[in-house]
Amino acid sequence: MAIDVEEVATGASPNSARVIHVTVNGVTHRSKVDARLLLVHYLRERLRLTGTHIGCDTAHCGACTVLVDGIPAKSCNLLAVMVDGRSVQTVEGLEAGGKLHPVQEGFTKEHGLQCGYCTPGMMMASVALLAKNPNPTEDEIRRGISGNLCRCTGYVNIVKAIQYAGKKMQEAPKGGA
């Protein structure tokens, strides 16, 4: 399904704007965007997917982490035009059919958050980590999420949440949650 998003590009030069096709959480969007538009602003302000947070805005904290073709990226540090033709998954795309993703469930069960600001990015990094390494050690988890900062938890329960999700995903029958 393609959704033609309102054209709001305001660039003075014709080359400063561009039409992009981006598949976000399974839905393909056709949008005219300023080339300077950051991916995180495209997601939050154009598509109204505000689950992706802006933290430091300098590519340090990881709150804006999304998956681009399955690989974690800091969406405050990419231009929307750079994901033209690619597939983006945000935190809104984790839940399926009213059922939480095992990583979401892990963060709930293990109390993997306090204020919740880092959580969307933390979960996207976790999803990618577990896809690559279904049974990570604590050290591998800590290294894997080292691009994501949390100022509340001290990471202990985040590690537990990811371990919970890893176990759950290995137990799940193929094709299940």
92 near another protein, rule: CB under 8 A: no
Taking the C-alpha atoms of residue 49 and residue 53, their distance in angstroms, rounded to an integer, is 10
To another protein, the closest distance from the beta carbon of 172 in angstroms equals 26
**Binding segment for another protein among 45-53, 57-65, 93-101, 151-159 (CB under 8 A)?**
57-65
To another protein, the closest distance from the beta carbon of 83 in angstroms equals 10
Residues 117-137: b if buried by 16+ CB within 10 A, e if exposed: bbbbbbbbbbbbbbeeeeebe
Question: Nearer to another protein by C-beta: 82 or 100?
Answer: 82
101 near another protein, rule: CB under 8 A: no
140 near another protein, rule: CB under 8 A: no
List phi, psi (to 5°) of 31: -140, 140
Write the interaction track for another protein spanning residues 153-172; mark x where CB under 8 A is met and - where it is not: --------------------
Number of neighbours of residue 70 by Cβ within 10 angstroms: 11
Query: Is-contact 146 106, C-beta < 8 A?
Result: no
Tokens of 108: 């709930």
The structure tokens 């984790």 sit at: 94
Chain residues binding another protein by CB under 8 A are: 11-13, 15-16, 18, 34-36, 38, 41, 57-60, 62, 65, 71-74, 77-79, 81-82, 84, 125, 143-144, 146-148
